[in-house]
Amino acid sequence: MNDMPARVLRRMLAERSLVRLAVLTLAVLIVFSLVSSTYFTVINFQSMGFQVAEVGLLSLAVMLAMLTGGIDLSIISVANIAGIVTAQLFKSTGAATAEPGQAFAMTVGFILIGLFAGTVCGVLNGLLITRLRITPILATLGTLQLLNGIAIIWTGGQAVYGTPNVFLNIGIASIGLVPVPVLVLLTAAVGTAVFVNRTGMGLRLRLIGANPTAARYSGLNNDRVLMVTYVASAFLSSLAGIIIAARSASANADYGVSYLLLAIVIVVLGGVNPMGGYGTVTGVVLSAFVLQMVSSGFNMVGYSSFAYQIAQGAILIGVMSLSALARRYHVEGRSTLLNRWRRTEPSTAQPPEGKRDEEAHQPS
Amino acid sequence: MSWFSSTLRGVPLARLRGGNNEGVLVLSIAILSVAIGLATPSFWSLGTLLNVSTNSLTNLVFAMGVLIVIISGGINVSFAAIGIFAGYSVIVLANSTGFGASAAWVGFAIAAGIGLGLGMLNAAAIAGLRLPTLIVTLGTQGIIRGALLSVIGSKVIPNYPPGLDNLSTNYLITAQGAASQGAGATRLSVLIIPAILICVLVSLLLRYTMVGRGIYAIGGDAESARRTGFPVVSIQVFIYALAGILAGIAGMMHVTQVRLANPYELVGGELDVIAAVVLGGASIFGGKGSVAGTVLGVVLIALIKSSLILLGVPGSWQRAAVGLLLLIGVTAQALSAGVQRRRIDLLAESAP
Amino acid sequence: MGSPEPLLIASGISKRFGGVAALADVTLEVRGGEVHCVVGENGSGKSTLIKVISGVIFPDAGTITVGEQSFTHLTPRQAISLGIEVIFQDLSVFPNLTVAENIAMATYIAEGRRTVAPKALRSIAAKALSEIGVRLDLEARAEDLSVADKQLTAICRALAQDARIIFMDEPTTALTWREVEALFRVVESLREKGVALVFVSHKIEEVLRISQRITVLRNGVVTVIGDVADFDRAAIVQAMTGRSIADSQPSPSLREDMPPLLEAQGLCLRGYFEDISFSVRPGEILGVTGLLGSGRTEIAEALFGITPPDQGSVRVEGKPVRLRSVRDAMAAGIGYVPGDRLTQGVFLDQSIARNIIAGSIQRLVGRLNLLRRSAADETVRRAATELRIKMPSAEAPASSLSGGNQQRVVLAKWLARNPHLLILNSPTVGVDVGSKHEILDMLRAKSHEGMGIMVISDDVPELVAVCHRVLVVRQGRITDELVGDRLSEEVILRELAA
């Protein structure tokens, strides 16, 4: 137990993707600090901190689904549902004009209700995937639409205003130098890391993503674990939704639509394998910060947010290409043709989306 | 078309159902039409038919591109971005250089060319590097949209070059006694001709060429396709290039019909198209799908949207309705697939 | 009427996967107009040999000679152009295309055709069908066909390609008796055309009936080559399951007064097995044997909740148990080491430690579902010591281990649970000799401690060396129970060959 920090550090260093990320972080930091004098300042970092939490939480949500070899496309819709529920409650009870003490209690209560509402959406996803056996892409594509539609119906397409100051503090206050959203993100990250790395359920999650057949033969109860995964993903998305609402002082059915791409970029850059079984929370969080730094840097240099979108897409494809190429040349064997036919270990050959090809050639 | 020729051991009922559940779709559309017609008699008018047709033109062409990708076992979410990029760029080009200002078809050709180029981005990553299709197309969507908005322009353009302007008001049929909808609702745009032509061509491609059969083969079993000697990489490049061309054309159609070049449009509406293709019987796992089914899927969704409007349901319900419809359709597919699965397959789980 | 000149000679073929030799210096000679059977049980290397010859896998050593040309390895395209066609067990038939397309597709591709004219496709397909006198609905989709018809489609596809050598991997596995007869008629007409057929099979009756020459493989090595006329059933079975260097230390006798650990009564699963009744006593090692396809694996997996039986009952330690799922079985104290290690047993890219604790997660969590690190480490350490797993560290991925060590890891996973009854399916396939000994010793040790053990296997010396009793399964029924003097290699071989 006493050598745990050392052990953790050693394990982190062993992860080449983490080392690469750390180097990347430094590189981005240096480049932008050189280019803009206001980059390497407390104010700028604080500003980044306020912005990174939303998408960081969403990335953690996507990571969980990807660890099991699936995907959750409905994260934004779930986030908005949570935000809308909370905001509606505020609006309809006139919380914005309530006494401070009352406002505080209402804030806490309504946030909890909002989180609950979003988490229930995760149950819906889980049911579709485990009971009705719909593949995660389609299931979450459907719920993305359905939940978005419900949100639009409820809000009439308008933003919902009326949040009390206590609530808004979440989005603008800092404890010491650290913005509150960052604290929320880090707490959630630690919680997720503990869940994924140190709990029995987290271990089951990884094993199911690594080899669902062997998981079945080891009695890992795939259905229950998948349900937990999508519920947890929805919870994290709901947290993100609350933060979005706090920062925008309102809730809207269509916020954050561009976050889906960003979340997936973050997750892939952070070293998570979309086919399942592999990924670290540290990588995802670090990657979220890196991308936020790039966004901030672009902003300072005068690039538009559209340029940032281009960068996201480019980073995503770039990272995946690099790891695909690296894998192709590192696998043992004489030629790439050989590697394509022999599948004793996960190969670069991708089965079609939605299908997991578990065929491995055992000598027989 | 395939639903006439597919035979399932000669069982007549199964033949009606069609290889891709086209029969079920036709039935659903029929039932829906009757139900709506009973609720709102004005539904049964030429106006509605034309309305539905005109509204679904763009989605139809997009859907063809999505269809071929899905049959090959992949998924493409970048088509809307390609479409609007192409459409908007052509307007900008025409307005600034006068190129293609008079002849509308030149604009379309340019749009197709742009779509081809953008489609090749997808092709390189997916066919060349074998990266997962969902993630690649998410990435290219970001790149393309970002490039459009930052490089080409982010302003809405209301001025159209004369050639396109004429095209947008070129109607094939004009119904008398306009229905209660506004102007334009009872007219059928001439663009329906190229749309139908494209559908026919894609259908022929899928059915009568080696490339087309190769697409099915890859979607059915990519490994076997390789073993049998199909040039898998070339076919995949073709798929994504063609999908790009079709997206470019569809984008151009949209921009023409709407008479306003808004670079923020189309992206966000991908789901309607994907839902239509999936509802039309294409399997997300690949290997299955037909033009007929996709057309029916697009029609069904357009019909539902029109019905909602006619029934006085607020437009905000449309998205929820499509989402629900998708879930129901997909559930039905999953359930019927589960029933057919043989006992030995207990170990292969469909949900990872 | 075999022509004296061989169409194809594969000589000195060797192939290693990880630490295990799948093929060692194997030679195969194929003559035209003749059916040549490659025979062997699980792990013999027969499938690997076919993959090498058809270009799916490159051998580490050896040459393949076809006519005048010699190759160190082939690619699939080359193999096809040389007239070599393989019909794998999965048939490689495109389920979503029609029969006509499936048959004619490869020809079209080879000819570099661009367009598809349904009429032309149909005529190519019809021609192939008529060559072997078979009728199929050309417009039917392949996925709607029966397995037998799919197979015929695959054969026609090979014919349409002017195949001169057709390999078929376990062709009669999923066929009914009538369909097998139809297949054999087709085989005869192919022979008359001078086509060479190579069947990979384990079904001795069919081998004797249909082939002219055979090559028997065991553990990657050729044990016997010759004309079928010179063999009888017993001789073939002996060559297939032959002698290995297993230690023949007999297990000590059991106490008769112990109540049974597991009693199975009247188990039935339609299509796989019926009327299966047996019992296992504490400390007993029960063997279950039978040839591939006899139902032996399904019986084991029924006890483990993977394919629950339609009828019948099971009692564990006197209490009736439901075995509708894997969790039910594990709750009843039953463990299972599966037959296909790579897909069912091991998490290849996960660490060895994770693999070992994968079955004991419930036991190793404390409050808040947190894993108890020290308990987990202890479990891994104990397992590694007990099973003598050779590994650089417990954090290394399981894929870095040899087959034998991987199998120890799977075993460790189950032993960590201390099951009442441990079922093992083909436990020493693809495992080096040293590990084999140690695994069998481990089983004996556990049985001493009172664990009940069932070993599903077709490795006859292994069965004799380690089991107290052996059940022989044939076509889904238990046909004999061997114990004492009758539990000997000769008897088992005779029963298997019968």
Domains (range + CATH), chain C: 6-241 (3.40.50.300), 262-497 (3.40.50.300)
Per-residue pLDDT at B12 exceeds 70: no
Tokens read off for C407:
């199998």
Give the lowest-confidence range in A353-357, B231-235, C31-35. A353-357
Q: What angle do CA C136, C142, C143 make, to 5 degrees?
A: 135
- Which A positions 75-114 lie with beta carbon below 8 A of chain B? none
Distance CA(A71)–CA(A65), nearest Å, equals 5
Residue B103, pLDDT score = 67
More confident residue, C158 or A194: A194
Per-residue pLDDT at A286 exceeds 60: yes
Which secondary-structure segment (H or E) carries A161?
A: none
DSSP reduced 3-state for A261: helix
- Which C positions 2-21 lie with beta carbon below 8 A of chain A? 15, 17-18, 20
Highest averaged pLDDT of the listed ranges A272-276, B152-156, C284-288:
C284-288
| Mean local confidence (pLDDT), C198-202 | 85
Bridge partners for C30 per DSSP: C8
DSSP reduced 3-state for A47: helix
Give a three-class secondary structure readout of chain C: CCCCCEEEEEEEEEEEECCEEEEEEEEEEEECCCEEEEECCCCCCHHHHHHHHCCCCCCCEEEEEECCEEECCCCHHHHHHCCEEEECCCCCCCCCCEHHHHHHHHHHHHCCCCECCHHHHHHHHHHHHHHCCCCCCCCEEHHHCCHHHHHHHHHHHHHHCCCCEEEEECCCCCCCHHHHHHHHHHHHHHHHCCCEEEEEECCHHHHHHHCCEEEEEECCEEEEEEEHHHCCHHHHHHHHHCCCCCCCCCCCCCCCCCCCCEEEEEEEECCCEEEEEEEECCCCEEEEECCCCCCHHHHHHHHCCCCCCCEEEEEECCEEECCCCHHHHHHCCEEEECCCHHHHHCCCCCEHHHHHHCCCHHHHECHHHEECHHHHHHHHHHHHHHCCCCCCCCCCEHHHCCHHHHHHHHHHHHHCCCCCEEEEECCCCCCCHHHHHHHHHHHHHHHHCCCEEEEECCCHHHHHHHCCEEEEEECCEEEEEEEHHHCCHHHHHHHHHC
> B47 near B179, Cβ under 8 Å?
yes
Residues of B in Cβ contact (< 8 Å) with A298: none
Per-residue pLDDT at B134 exceeds 60: yes
Distance CA(A156)–CA(C21), nearest Å, equals 69
- Which B positions 268-297 lie with beta carbon below 8 A of chain C? 287-288
Tokens read off for C116:
């598809």
Per-residue pLDDT at C246 exceeds 60: no
> B106 near B164, Cβ under 8 Å?
no
> A208 near A229, Cβ under 8 Å?
no
Residue C85, pLDDT score = 87
- Binned at pLDDT 50, 70 and 90, residue C498 comes out as low
Segment A103-133, tens digit of pLDDT: 888 888 999 999 999 999 999 999 999 998 8
Per-residue pLDDT at C256 exceeds 70: no
- Return the axis-axis angle of helices B291-310 and B192-208, rounded to nearest 10°: 150
Residue C44, pLDDT score = 77
Per-residue pLDDT at C267 exceeds 70: yes
User: Exposure of B300 by Cβ count < 10 A (0-12 exposed, 13-18 middle, 19+ buried)?
Assistant: buried
DSSP reduced 3-state for B34: helix
Residue A5, pLDDT score = 67
- C393 has a chain A CB within 8 A of its CB: no
φ, ψ dihedrals at C4, nearest 5°: -65, -30
| Mean local confidence (pLDDT), C147-151 | 82
> B74 near B232, Cβ under 8 Å?
no
Residue A6, pLDDT score = 66
B188-to-A287, B50, B171 alpha-carbon distances in Å = 51, 5, 6
Which secondary-structure segment (H or E) carries B124?
A: none
- For A353, the closest of B140, B226, B284 (CB atoms) is B284
Residue B75: CB atoms within 10 A of its CB come to 26
Per-residue pLDDT at A336 exceeds 90: no
φ, ψ dihedrals at C412, nearest 5°: -60, -40
Residue B306, pLDDT score = 79
Distance CA(B286)–CA(B75), nearest Å, equals 9
Q: Give Cβ neighbours of residue A64 (< 8 Å, ≥ 6 apart).
A: A72, A192, A196, A205, A229, A232, A233, A236
Q: Which chain A residue is nearest to residue B128, measuring alpha carbons? A: A321
What's the whole-number average pLDDT of chain B? 77
Highest averaged pLDDT of the listed ranges A37-46, B117-126, C233-242:
B117-126
> A283 near A17, Cβ under 8 Å?
yes
Per-residue pLDDT at C89 exceeds 80: no
- Binned at pLDDT 50, 70 and 90, residue A27 comes out as confident
Segment C450-459, tens digit of pLDDT: 899 999 988 7
Residue B21, pLDDT score = 62
Residue B183, pLDDT score = 44
Name the minimum distance, in Å, from the CA of B278 to any CA of chain A. Answer: 9
Residues of A in Cβ contact (< 8 Å) with B129: 320-321, 324-325
Per-residue pLDDT at A51 exceeds 70: yes
Distance CA(A79)–CA(A256), nearest Å, equals 9
Residue B284, pLDDT score = 83
Contact B136 A276 (CB under 8 A): no
Name the minimum distance, in Å, from the CA of B244 to any CA of chain C. Answer: 22
Structural domains present in chain A: 11-333 (1.10.3470)
Contact B227 C92 (CB under 8 A): yes
Name the minimum distance, in Å, from the CA of B287 to any CA of chain C. Answer: 6
φ, ψ dihedrals at A169, nearest 5°: -55, -35
Residue A346, pLDDT score = 29
User: Exposure of C320 by Cβ count < 10 A (0-12 exposed, 13-18 middle, 19+ buried)?
Assistant: exposed
What's the whole-number average pLDDT of chain C? 85
Residue C174, pLDDT score = 67
- A134 has a chain B CB within 8 A of its CB: yes
| Mean local confidence (pLDDT), A343-357 | 32
Give the lowest-confidence range in A69-73, B215-219, C238-242. C238-242
- Binned at pLDDT 50, 70 and 90, residue B19 comes out as low
> B279 near B300, Cβ under 8 Å?
yes
Residue B198, pLDDT score = 94
Percentage of chain C lying above the pLDDT 90 cut: 26
Per-residue pLDDT at A260 exceeds 80: yes
Segment B225-265, tens digit of pLDDT: 877 778 889 999 999 999 999 999 999 888 888 877 888 88
Which of A211, A221, A345 to mutate against chain C (most C CBs within 10 Å)?
A211
What's at C332, amino acid-wise?
A
Q: Which chain C residue is nearest to residue A207, measuring alpha carbons? A: C347
Segment A143-186, tens digit of pLDDT: 998 999 899 888 888 888 888 888 888 888 888 888 899 999 99
Name the minimum distance, in Å, from the CA of C493 to any CA of chain B. Answer: 29
Distance CA(A11)–CA(A193), nearest Å, equals 14
- C461 has a chain A CB within 8 A of its CB: no
Give the lowest-confidence range in A55-59, A331-335, A352-356, C173-177. A352-356
- Residue identified by tokens 């798929």 is B239
Structural domains present in chain B: 2-6+15-336 (1.10.3470)
Name the minimum distance, in Å, from the CA of C124 to any CA of chain A. Answer: 30
- C201 has a chain A CB within 8 A of its CB: no
Q: How many residues does chain A have?
A: 364
> C154 near C91, Cβ under 8 Å?
yes
Tokens read off for A253:
């059915």
Residue C234, pLDDT score = 73
Residue B186, pLDDT score = 53
Contact C140 B347 (CB under 8 A): no
Segment C410-437, tens digit of pLDDT: 999 999 999 999 999 989 877 777 788 8
Q: Which chain B residue is nearest to residue C86, measuring alpha carbons? A: B227
Name the minimum distance, in Å, from the CA of A69 to any CA of chain B. Answer: 6
| Mean local confidence (pLDDT), A330-346 | 40
Give the lowest-confidence range in B199-208, B325-334, C375-384. B325-334
What subunits touch chain A, counting only 3 or more CB pairs under 8 A? B, C
More confident residue, C148 or B198: B198
What's at A155, amino acid-wise?
T
| Mean local confidence (pLDDT), C271-299 | 88
What ranges in B259-312 are assigned the alpha helix state H? 270-279, 291-310
Q: For strand C35-39 and strand C196-201, is the pairing parallel, antiparallel, or unpaired?
A: parallel
Q: Which chain C residue is nearest to residue B71, measuring alpha carbons? A: C96
Contact B213 C117 (CB under 8 A): no
User: Maximum CA pair distance of chain B?
Assistant: 66
Exposure string over A317-343, b if 16+ CB within 10 A, otherwise e: bebbbebbeeebeebeeeeeeebbbbb
pTM of the complete model:
0.81
Exposure string over A124-145, b if 16+ CB within 10 A, otherwise e: bbbebbbebbbbbbbbbbbbbb
Tokens read off for C62:
């050896």
Q: Which chain A residue is nearest to residue C23, measuring alpha carbons? A: A363
Start-to-end Cα distance in chain B: 35
Q: How many residues does chain C have?
A: 498
Residue A8, pLDDT score = 65
| Mean local confidence (pLDDT), C455-478 | 88
Residue A267, pLDDT score = 93
- Binned at pLDDT 50, 70 and 90, residue A340 comes out as very low
- C369 has a chain A CB within 8 A of its CB: yes
ipTM above 0.85, yes or no: no
Percentage of chain A lying above the pLDDT 90 cut: 39
Name the minimum distance, in Å, from the CA of B237 to any CA of chain C. Answer: 16
Residue A350, pLDDT score = 34
Q: Which chain B residue is nearest to residue C51, measuring alpha carbons? A: B227
More confident residue, A243 or B34: A243
Residue A355, pLDDT score = 32
Percentage of chain A lying above the pLDDT 70 cut: 86
What ranges in chain A are assigned the alpha helix state H? 4-14, 16-35, 42-67, 75-92, 100-130, 136-155, 165-172, 180-198, 200-210, 212-217, 222-248, 259-269, 281-301, 305-330, 336-341
Percentage of chain C lying above the pLDDT 70 cut: 94
Residues of A in Cβ contact (< 8 Å) with C459: none
Segment B81-91, tens digit of pLDDT: 999 999 888 88
Residue B14, pLDDT score = 47
- Provide the CA C105 distance to its chain's centre, in angstroms: 31
Residues of A in Cβ contact (< 8 Å) with C338: 217
Tokens read off for C33:
């107009």
| Mean local confidence (pLDDT), B149-155 | 80
Bridge partners for C36 per DSSP: C198, C213
> C328 near C305, Cβ under 8 Å?
yes
Contact C343 A194 (CB under 8 A): no
What's the whole-number average pLDDT of chain A? 83
- Binned at pLDDT 50, 70 and 90, residue C169 comes out as confident
Residue B167, pLDDT score = 66
More confident residue, A18 or B124: B124
Distance CA(C305)–CA(C318), nearest Å, equals 19
Segment A274-283, tens digit of pLDDT: 887 788 999 9
Per-residue pLDDT at C189 exceeds 50: yes
- For A226, the closest of B145, B284, B351 (CB atoms) is B351
Per-residue pLDDT at A191 exceeds 90: yes
Distance CA(B299)–CA(B56), nearest Å, equals 7
> A36 near A300, Cβ under 8 Å?
yes
Tokens read off for A244:
């979005």
Give the lowest-confidence range in B71-75, B153-157, C181-185. B153-157
With CA atoms as reference, report the closest residue to B290 among B202, B194, B220: B202
Name the minimum distance, in Å, from the CA of B107 to any CA of chain A. Answer: 26
Residues of A in Cβ contact (< 8 Å) with C399: 344-345
